[in-house]
Amino acid sequence: MKLTKTLLATSALTVASGMAFADAHMANEMTIVSWGGAYSNSQQKAYNEPYAEKTGVKIINDESSADAVAKLRAMSEAGNVSWDVVDVTAADSFRLCDEGLAMEINFDEMLAKGDDGSSATDDFGGTLINDCFIPQIVFSTTFGYRTDMVGDTPPTSVCSIFDTEAYPGKRALEKRPIGNMEWALLCDGVEKEAIYDLLETPEGQQQALDKLATIKDDVIWWNAGADTPQLLADGEVVIGSTYNGRLFSVIEEQDQPVAMMWDGQMFDIDGWIIPAGLTDERKARALDYIMFATDTQRLADQAKYISYGPARASSAPLVGKHADLGIDMAQHMPTDPANATNVFNFNYEFWADYRDDIDAKFQAWLVQ
Amino acid sequence: MSDVNDATTAKTAPTPDDGLKIADGPVLAADGTPLKKSLSRALRVQKLRALALVAPLLIFVLVTFIAPIADMLFRSVENEIVSETLPRTTDLLADWDAESGTPPGAPVFKALFKDIFEAQEAKLHTRLGSRLNYELTGVSSLFRKSGRKVEDMAEVYQDQFEKLDRFWKKGENWNTLMGSDAWNADMAGWDPKSDDKQPKFELRDGIDVFLPATSESFANYAKFTQVEDEDNLAKKDPWALVYSSLYDDLQRAEPVTFAGLKVAGAAELSEAASAVADFETVNFAEAFTKIDKDWQDVEVWRTIQAYSPRYTNGYFLNAIDMQKGADGPEMRPENQQIYLTLFWRTMVMSIVITVSCILLGYPVAWLLANLPARTANLLMILVLLPFWTSLLVRTSAWKVMLQHQGVVNETLVWLGIVATDDRLALINNQTGTIIAMTHILLPFMILPLYSVMATVPQTYLRAAKSLGATNWTAFWRVYFPQSVPGIGAGSILVFILSIGYYITPEIVGGTSGTFISNRIAYHISSSLNWGLGAALGAILLAAVLLLYYAYDKIVGIDNVKLGG
C-alpha cells in the first residue's frame, strides 16, 4: 500500500516537473561533449563558465568526442539522444550530416553576426563546409622536431621527413592515410593543386604509398594526438606530425628541446554539431548556447588558453596573450601569416568519398 | 530434476504398492486424485519456482547480452536500406543487364528521379550514399550532389504549371482537388493551436483513376508533411515532384477526360491537359548525367543492382577479402586484401601468447601449490596484483619499458650486451604485443593451473620416486598428466581472451602486431561500416566456437577443470 502511494506521489511529481520544463522555454540542463584535456579546459573557461553564469543553466561535460560518431548513431537508433551539443572534427561532421544524425543549421539565422557587422556566413567564410557543422577553431596537423637531434641544419621543409640521410632516426606519422598521402605526393614532385585529382586515381594512390614505402621502416605510426609529443620528449623520434596545439604545449609549457616546423601544415577545422531529434526545449537551449559560444569575442577568448585559431575572421584581431604564460598567442596560431606560407587545405569532400577506399589500401599496405 | 521424474514414471522394480494398484487401479493420493498426477503437479510447482528464481538472471542476460549481440550480428547480412530508399529504381533495375555495358534506359532514370526526390525530402539519400560508398568509392558524393540538384529538375514542370494558371500555385487548391471531401471538411474544422491531432490525409475517391502518378506523389507528400515533419498540411505547398507527376498523368498516350470529375479544379485540369503538349520537358538521363557523369558509369548501376536485395552476403565477402564481381564473388585486388592476413595473424599470435603463458605460468603455479601456505599467499598476492591496476596503465608501462630509449634497452646498453646504435626493437611490432599480452593474461593461466595443482597430493610424487622413478619421470608420468585439466582451462581462457584483445595491440603493436579486433573497432567507431564490423565479428565468433568444438573432440571438455 505504502509502495503504491510512493509510486503515485513520484509520478505526480514527475508530471509536475515535466510541466515545469514545458513551461520554461528552454531546458535548464545540457550535456556538452568534447575531447577532454587542455582543449576541453579552454572551452570550459572561454564558453561554459561564462554561459552558465549568464543563464544559470547546469552544464554536464562528457569527454566522448573521439567516439562521437558511433555513439550518436547508437543513441539515435535507440531513440534516446542524451547529448545537446557535440564537438567533432570536420571530417566526422560530414559523416554525421550524411547519416542524418546532425541537425541542419541555418547559419545566418542561428549564429551571431560578426562584431564588425558581417553576416555569419561571411564571417565564417570557407570554414562552413556542410549544412550541419558550426566551425569553432582552425587547427593544423604539422611537424615538430628535436632540436638536439638535427645537427646544425634544422629541417625547413615538409619533405625532410622523407630525407633519412640528412635526418636519420625514426619519424612519427599518423596511422591513417589522411595527410600522409598528400605529403607523399607533394614530396614526390606533384604540384599542390594537382594532388587531389591524382589521389582519385588508383595510380596516384599507389604513387603516394610507394613514396611512403621509402621510409616505412623508419616510421612509428601514432593513433592518439598525445603520442608524438611523448615520442619527441622521450627522444624516440627525431621528427613527427601532430596537432599544433600539442606541440605548443610541449615547446612552451613543458620546455622540451622541440621546435615547430610549419611547412606543409594541413589545415583542419573543429566545431560543433547539434544532434538531430532533440526535443524543442533542448534544441532551443543548444542553439542558444551555440549562438553565445561561437560569437566573435568568445572564439577569440578561447585562444587565450590554447593555440588554435578562431574560425571567425572577425575574431583574429582580438586574439591576445596566453592566460598563464603571458606570451603573445597570435604568432602561435596556424593561421598567422608567417606560419601559413605553405599550407594544405584539407579537402573534406574528397576524403568523405575516398576515406574508406584509401584507408583499406593504406591499412593493407601497412600490414604487408 | 530429471532423475526425480524417472523415478516416478518408470516403474521397473516391484514395490509394496503394487498389490494395492492391482486391486484398485491407480494409486490415489489423500484427496482422491491419482498419486502420479498429484506428484507431477507438486513437482511442476517446484520447477516453476526454480525457474522463477533463475528468471531474473536469465532475462537480464537475454535482454542485455544475447539480444544486442544477435541484433549486431544480424547487421552483417541486413541490407534493406537500398530497396527501401530506391524502391522504384531497384524494381526496374532488376531487368537491366549489367553485361550490356550500357547504362539503363530512360524509365530507370525517371524512377531514380522520383526515389531520390522523396529520399532527399526525408534526408535519406546521403545515408544510402554512404552505405553504397563502402562498395564503390565516389557514390557518397554522387548522391549528395544529386540530392541537392534533383529539386531543380522537378521545378521545370512546377514553373510551367504555375505560369499556366495561378490555381496551381496554392497548396489549398491542391488539397481540395486531391483530398476527400470528408477530409477537407475535417481540416476546415481543425484548430491547429488545439491539442487535437491533425486529420489524417485521405485521397479523393476515384482521383487515382484520373491521376494515378499524381495521387501517389501527393499522398506521399501529405503523409510526409503530416507525420514526419508534423507540419500543417493546409499551410504547405506540394513538392515539385507532384507537378512532374501531374505532367506525366496529363500527357499519357490516351487522352484523359475530366468530365466525370465533379470538383473544383476540374476546369483547370482540362486546361492543363490541353496545354502540356507544348510543355518543355526534362530528359532525366541527361539531367542526371549533367549533375555528375558517373550516372553513365555502368559500375554505379551494377553496384546498386547487386545490393538491391534485402539481405546481402556482401559484408561477409568483404570480410574475407572478396567482393561481388560481375560474375559472382571474386578476390579483391591484392593491394586491398587485409582481413585474411589479420585473421591468420590473430590466431597465430594468440597461440603464441597462450604457449608463452603456459611456459611462464606453469612453474609459478607449481610453486604456489607446493610452498608453505604463508609464502604461497604472498606469491598469490603478487600474481593478483596486476588485476588491481588499470589495463591502460599496465600497457603504457610496457611502452616505457620496451621503447628504444626505454628501461630494457638502456639496461642492456649499460651492461654492454647491445651496442647503443643497435638497440633491440621490442615495441611497435609483434614482439611488443606478445610481451605485453603475455604479461596481462598470465594470471588467467596461473589461477586455473594453481587450483588444479592444489588438488594433486604431493604423496604421489614421493610414491613414484620411492618406486624408482627419476625426478623427471615422476614429474612427467605422474604429476604432469594430473595437471593437464588446468592447462586446458587456462589455455581456453587465455586464447579466447587474447583473440578479442584490442587495446594492448593498438598501443604496443605498431603495424605488424595489430589484431583483427583493431579493424572491427575501426569499422564500428570510425568508418561506421557496422555491417562489415558485424561480419568480421561473426567470423571471429565462429572461429572461436569451431576451435572450442575441436578442442572438445580432441581433448574433451570434461577434462577441463577450473578447480578441485
CB contact under 8 A, B144 and A98: yes
Q: H or E element: which one contains B50?
A: helix B35-61
Question: In B304-338, which positions are buried (b, 16+ CB within 10 angstroms) versus exposed (e)?
Answer: bbbbbeeebebbbbbbbbbbbeeeeeeebeebbbb
CB atoms within 10 A of CB B447: 23
pLDDT digits (tens, 9 = 90+) for A57-79: 999 999 999 889 889 999 998 89
Q: Is B148 on the interface with A (CB under 8 A)?
A: no
Q: Is A60 helix (H, G, I), strand (E, B) or coil?
A: strand
Distance from CA of A180 to the nearest CA of B (A): 16
Q: Where are the domains of chain A?
A: 2-132+274-332, 141-267+343-367
Q: Is B149 on the interface with A (CB under 8 A)?
A: no
Q: Is residue B108 in a domain?
A: yes
Q: Are residues B386 and B527 in the same domain?
A: yes
pTM for this prediction: 0.84
Q: Is A238 on the interface with B (CB under 8 A)?
A: no
Q: The domain containing residue B390 runs over which residues?
A: 339-559
Distance from CA of B165 to the nearest CA of A (A): 33
- Segment A307-332 shows an average pLDDT of 89
CB contact under 8 A, A100 and B126: yes
Residues of B in contact with A175 (CB under 8 A): 511
The cell 561481388 sits on which residue?
Answer: B324
Q: Is B230 on the interface with A (CB under 8 A)?
A: no
Name the A residues in 150-209 with CB < 8 Å from any B CB: 170, 175, 206, 209
Q: Are residues B130 and B53 in the same domain?
A: no
**DSSP states along A219-251:** EEEESSTTHHHHHHHTTS-SEEEEEHHHHHIII
Rounded Cα gap, residues A71 and B526, in angstroms: 10
Q: Which of B406, B428, B444 is nearest to B504 (CA)?
A: B428
Q: Are residues B92 and B54 in the same domain?
A: no
Residues of B in contact with A349 (CB under 8 A): 141
Q: How far is CA B271 from CA A348, B247, B259, B268, B441, in A?
A: 50, 12, 12, 5, 82
CB contact under 8 A, B342 and A367: yes
Average pLDDT of every residue of chain A: 88
In degrees, to the nearest 5, what angle opens at C-alpha B283 toward C-alphas B211 and B299? Answer: 110
Distance from CA of A49 to the nearest CA of B (A): 31
**Structure confidence at residue A87 (pLDDT):** 96
Q: Is B85 on the interface with A (CB under 8 A)?
A: no
Rounded Cα gap, residues A201 and A179, in angstroms: 17
Kindly give the pairing relationship between strand A171-174 and strand A219-222: parallel
CATH of domain A2-132+274-332: 3.40.190.10
Residues whose CB falls within 8 Å of the CB of residue B182, separated by 6 or more in sequence, listed in order: B202
Q: Are residues B143 and B290 in the same domain?
A: yes
Which one of B271, B299, B327 terminates a domain? B299
Distance from CA of B76 to the nearest CA of A (A): 16
CATH T-level topology, domain A141-267+343-367: D-Maltodextrin-Binding Protein; domain 2 (3.40.190)
Residues of A in contact with B404 (CB under 8 A): 170, 236
Q: Is B341 on the interface with A (CB under 8 A)?
A: yes
Nearest CB to B141; choose among A70, A349, A364: A349
Give yes or no on whether A2-132+274-332 and A141-267+343-367 have one common fold: yes
Nearest CB to A356; choose among B342, B506, B529: B529
Distance from CA of A353 to the nearest CA of B (A): 5
Beta bridge partners of A146: A258
Q: Is residue B306 in a domain?
A: no
Q: Are residues B528 and B381 in the same domain?
A: yes
Rounded Cα gap, residues B291 and B297, in angstroms: 13
Question: In B101-136, which positions are buried (b, 16+ CB within 10 angstroms) versus exposed (e)?
Answer: eebbeeebbbbbbbbbbbbbbebbbbbbbbbbbbbb
- Could you tell me which chain B residue has the CA closest to the CA of A205? B335
Residues of B in contact with A170 (CB under 8 A): 404
Q: Is residue B307 in a domain?
A: no
CB contact under 8 A, A354 and B137: yes
Q: Is A347 on the interface with B (CB under 8 A)?
A: no
**Structure confidence at residue B267 (pLDDT):** 81
Q: Is residue B238 in a domain?
A: yes
Q: Are residues B38 and B94 in the same domain?
A: no
Nearest CB to B336; choose among A223, A354, A364: A364
- Could you tell me which chain B residue has the CA closest to the CA of A73? B528
Helix axes of B266-275 and B240-250: crossing angle, nearest 10 degrees: 70
The cell 621503447 sits on which residue?
Answer: B403
Count how many pairs of residues, chain A against chain B, have C-beta atoms within 8 Å.
80
Which one of B251, B273, B299 terminates a domain? B299
Q: Is residue B334 in a domain?
A: no
Check if the beta carbon of residue B413 is closer than 8 Å to that of residue B419. yes
Residues of B in contact with A223 (CB under 8 A): 506-507
Distance from CA of A16 to the nearest CA of B (A): 19
Nearest CB to A223; choose among B129, B138, B506: B506
Q: How far is CA B82 from CA B108, B127, B316, in A?
A: 15, 10, 18
Residues of B in contact with A95 (CB under 8 A): 130, 528
CB contact under 8 A, B511 and A170: no
Nearest CB to B138; choose among A236, A353, A360: A353
Rounded Cα gap, residues B517 and A144, in angstroms: 31
Residues of A in contact with B337 (CB under 8 A): 364
CB contact under 8 A, A236 and B403: yes
CB contact under 8 A, B528 and A73: yes
Q: Is A234 on the interface with B (CB under 8 A)?
A: yes
Residues of B in contact with A221 (CB under 8 A): 428, 510-511
CA dihedral B206, B209, B214, B215 (to 10 degrees): 40
Q: Is A67 on the interface with B (CB under 8 A)?
A: yes
Q: Are residues B289 and B355 in the same domain?
A: no
Residue type, A191: E
pLDDT truncated to tens, each residue of chain B (564 aa)? 444 444 444 445 555 555 455 555 677 877 778 888 888 888 999 999 999 999 999 999 999 999 989 999 999 999 999 999 999 999 999 999 888 889 999 999 999 999 999 999 888 998 899 899 988 888 988 998 899 889 888 899 999 999 998 889 888 889 988 998 889 888 888 888 888 888 899 898 888 888 888 999 999 999 988 888 888 888 888 999 999 999 988 887 566 667 667 777 888 888 888 888 888 988 999 999 999 999 999 999 999 999 999 999 999 999 999 998 878 899 988 888 899 999 999 999 999 999 999 999 999 999 999 899 899 999 999 988 888 889 989 998 999 999 988 999 999 999 999 988 888 999 999 999 999 999 999 999 999 999 999 989 989 999 999 999 999 999 999 999 999 889 988 999 999 999 999 899 998 988 889 999 999 998 988 888 999 999 999 999 999 899 889 888 887 777 776 665
Q: Are residues B260 and B236 in the same domain?
A: yes
Check if the beta carbon of residue A346 is closer than 8 Å to that of residue A268. yes
Q: Is A235 helix (H, G, I), strand (E, B) or coil?
A: coil
For residue A203, give the C-alpha cell. 595510380
Kindly give the pairing relationship between strand A258-273 and strand A29-33: unpaired
**Structure confidence at residue A62 (pLDDT):** 93
Q: Are residues B380 and B452 in the same domain?
A: yes
CATH number reported for the structural domain that contains residue B427 in this entry? 1.10.3720.10
Residues of A in contact with B74 (CB under 8 A): none
Q: H or E element: which one contains A263?
A: strand A258-273
Instruction: Please state the domain count of chain B.
Output: 3
Q: Are residues B166 and B56 in the same domain?
A: no
CB contact under 8 A, A100 and B130: no
Q: Which of A34, A6, A4 is nearest to A289 (CA)?
A: A34
Backbone angles phi, psi at A259, to 5 degrees: -130, 165
Residues of B in contact with A357 (CB under 8 A): 137
Residues of A in contact with B141 (CB under 8 A): 349, 352-353
Beta bridge partners of A269: A138
Nearest CB to A360; choose among B124, B338, B512: B338
Q: Is A235 on the interface with B (CB under 8 A)?
A: yes
CA A28 to chain centre: 27
Q: Is A45 on the interface with B (CB under 8 A)?
A: no
Nearest CB to B137; choose among A170, A353, A366: A353
Q: Is B178 on the interface with A (CB under 8 A)?
A: no
**Structure confidence at residue B8 (pLDDT):** 45
Name the B residues in 88-127 with CB < 8 Å from any A CB: 123-124, 126-127
Q: Are residues B62 and B97 in the same domain?
A: no
Q: Is residue B79 in a domain?
A: no
Q: Is residue B319 in a domain?
A: no
Check if the beta carbon of residue A21 is closer than 8 Å to that of residue A281. yes
Nearest CB to A98; choose among B140, B403, B404: B140
CA dihedral B398, B401, B404, B410 (to 10 degrees): -170
Beta bridge partners of A241: A143
Kindly give the pairing relationship between strand A343-345 and strand A258-273: parallel
Name the B residues in 364-423 with CB < 8 Å from any A CB: 403-405
In the predicted structure, residue A5 carries a pLDDT above the cut 50: no
In the predicted structure, residue A19 carries a pLDDT above the cut 80: no
Check if the beta carbon of residue B427 is closer than 8 Å to that of residue B342. no
pLDDT digits (tens, 9 = 90+) for A152-195: 899 999 999 999 999 999 999 999 899 999 999 999 999 999 99
Share of residues in chain A with pLDDT > 90 (%)? 62
Q: Is A272 on the interface with B (CB under 8 A)?
A: no
In the predicted structure, residue A126 carries a pLDDT above the cut 60: yes
The dihedral through the CA atoms of B308, B309, B311, B317 has a sign that is negative
Rounded Cα gap, residues A97 and B148, in angstroms: 14
Q: Is residue B80 in a domain?
A: no
Q: Is B183 on the interface with A (CB under 8 A)?
A: no
DSSP B66: I
